[in-house]
Amino acid sequence: MVSPSQLPRLADVEQQAYRLVNSKFPPIALFDDVADADEFETLYQLQALTNPRLRNETGHLELIARAEIPFGIPGCSYATAPFTHVNPAGSRFSDGSFGVLYLASTMDTALAEVRHHQDLYWSKVVGLSYERFVFRGLSCHFSEAGMLDAMSIPMTDPLYDPDDYSSGHHLGQLLRKGRTPGLRYHSVRKAGQHCWALMTPKPVTSIIQTEHYEMVWNGRISSVSSITAI
């Protein structure tokens, strides 16, 4: 299996990347309303007295240290949400016990990645014949400083297996244990493109909404299109 010691470390280069989030999940206002961790704690305690849904909105805050949250940046909630609302089923570099912020080199790459996983998920829903799903497109700026580069690992390596994520889970655990901020790697769903797996939202300097996209399910994801912002 791939070890972090095999991978070169990336320089402090500002990158732009892309992401999709389901529009049914709104931004978490509390993260965007404060400038630092102290303000967050004060406002959180105040809102907890009157907002019974606060825990559902902010997610599992115990999964991320306050010092890792990039308070004050545009789109702080978009950067932080993957670490407090963790998919228990896991992902390529997480076994489901911690969050990862996945970003893609182009919006087309982000669409290809999400399309694959939507196809996989909805194909298991019995009796679903037609549905439409709307996603927010996000544009993210972040620094690669200290991240590792898996682009030298060939696509034939188990790290890039299209279905078996066990090698990725192993590497993800090592990255998290070593406090590595992230990993650059080949996109498995879009040939010739690449993605990043951020193990912390701290490198993000901004993440803002761009367009909306609609995916139509008709036994499979049959179409993907940009739509007017809603």
In 3-state terms, what secondary structure has residue 126?
Answer: coil
The tally of domains found in the chain comes to 1
What is the full per-residue pLDDT of the chain (230 aa) written as tens digits?
Answer: 999 999 999 999 999 999 999 998 888 889 999 999 999 999 999 998 888 888 889 999 999 999 999 999 999 999 999 999 999 999 999 999 999 999 999 999 999 999 999 999 999 999 899 999 999 999 999 999 999 999 999 999 999 999 999 999 999 999 999 999 999 999 999 999 999 999 999 999 999 999 999 999 999 999 999 996 54
Q: In this predicted structure, what is the pLDDT of residue 51?
A: 87
In angstroms, rounded to a whole number, what is the distance separating the alpha carbons of residues 190 and 164? 17
Greatest CA separation for the chain? 53
State both tokens at 56: 């559902």
Q: In this predicted structure, what is the pLDDT of residue 230?
A: 47
Domain limits at 114? 4-227
Q: Write the DSSP string, 200-223.
A: SSTTEEEEEEEEEEEEEESSSEEE
Distances (CA, A) of 100 to 53, 91, 227: 24, 8, 27
Over the range 202-218, which residues count as b (16 or more CB within 10 Å of their CB) and which as e? bbbebbebeebbebebe
State both tokens at 125: 């829903």
Q: Which of 39, 144, 25 is nearest to 84 (CA)?
A: 25
